[in-house]
Structure 1
Amino acid sequence: MSEPTHRSLAAALSQDIRKKLGITHVLSVCTEHTFEPQHNWLTVAVQDSEYEDLLIHLPRTCAFIQSALDSGGRVLVHCMMGISRSATVVCAYLMVSQRLSAHAAIRFLQRRRPQVHPNYGFRKQLQAFADCRFNPSCTNAEYIAWKRRQKRDATKYINLVTDTIPVIPDQLYINR
């Protein structure tokens, strides 16, 4: 099985490293660095937050990877640390191309790269990706239901933080 290369931001930024590794396509999954639009380079600007909607971008990222591989290319998929965002995108691709479950795709990738650990929200999005039959959209009932749950969870989190803030004093002291 041909797989996308899963490396780091340094490799993405270095033309020499890309050339040495035979990388023809780059998929950037980060907001920390912006890149000039280039041929064979796709940027998905999402933060590593469990409340970020990466799900809606997964069909486009999977199509980009598949197109590159179909043309004989090699794909570098990266984020800042190579742990959560890029791993989620690669897992989504494995789910589509190899018909793996979200759990199986994560385990498959972790066997090759042990530090892979998609955040909890991205793990839920991989399951939602399967529930949407790999086609999340504004008209997909499963995507709409996931979006509603995500908004409810984010609202709970914001309310919890808001309720906690007045309790925290100007300085925090930790006693041993």
Structure 2
Amino acid sequence: MSDWFDTYGFVVVDDGGLVTGGYPLEEEDVRRLVERTGVTRVLNLCEDREYEPGEREDVERAYARRGIVEERLGLVDFGDVLPGALERGVQTVVPWLQEGETVYVHCRAGWQRSATVAAAILAVQHGIEPDEALGRIQRRKPSAQPLHHQLEGLWRWWRARLARDEAPPEA
């Protein structure tokens, strides 16, 4: 197992099948993730430039051997998590969870981007506000600490979603 994955690891943050953590870098990381959580789907928030040569390919092969579907939503490390990206993450992961899949949402270390996106997913899935969703994640994964501007983006997305859902139908 890679030192990175051993250090940052992964945690089941919701009994409905949501797991978050750091990025797997080799076959052994994927094996451990699957054996311990049963992951069948992955939402990868990393950009290609975050990987060393050959790492992405190794992980892609490991996923393919296990029949794991991976979607990519590259978000800039330490950057903003914009409402459109949050909505895309929610629209990707919530249906997987509703179908009974176990989903791994990860960024590089599993502290910021993945926590932000996972909070959006739990907010929609459970009908709770983002702070409560993040609190649920942090109880199981105390290292989940989105940056201030990422939390602002999460709330902008949430308020826009609520306004859209409450808007009267167009005539």
TM-score, normalising length from structure 2? 0.68
RCO higher in structure (CA 8 A, sep ≥6): 2
Between structure 1 and structure 2, the one with the greater Rg is: 1
CA distance in structure 1 between the partners assigned to 2:70 and 2:41 by the alignment: 6
Give the conservation status (yes or no) of the 8 Å contact 1:27–1:78. yes
3-state SS of paired residue (1:41) = strand
Q: Which amino acid aligns with 1:19?
A: V
Shift of 1:55: 2.2
TM-score, normalising length from structure 1? 0.67
Measured against aligned partners, the alpha-carbon deviations of 1:59-109 in whole angstroms (never above 9, x if no partner) come to: 221122122222221011111111000000100001111122122122111
Higher strand share: 2
Give the conservation status (yes or no) of the 8 Å contact 2:25–2:56. no
| Structure 2 equivalent of residue 6 of structure 1 | 20
Q: Over the residues paired in the alignment, what is the CA RMSD in angstroms?
A: 2.6
Contiguous gaps of at least 5 residues in structure 1: 137-176
CA 1:12 to 1:111, structure 2 compared with 1: closer, same or farther past 3 Å? Answer: farther
Is 1:42 matched up with 2:95?
no
- Number of residue pairs matched by the alignment: 135
Query: Percent identity over the alignment?
Result: 25
CA distance in structure 1 between the partners assigned to 2:21 and 2:78 by the alignment: 20
| Structure 2 equivalent of residue 83 of structure 1 | 111
Is 1:17 matched up with 2:46?
no
Q: Find runs of 4+ consecutive structure 1 residues off by over 2 angstroms.
A: 10-15, 33-39, 52-55
| Structure 1 equivalent of residue 148 of structure 2 | 120
CA 1:135 to 1:97, structure 2 compared with 1: closer, same or farther past 3 Å? Answer: farther
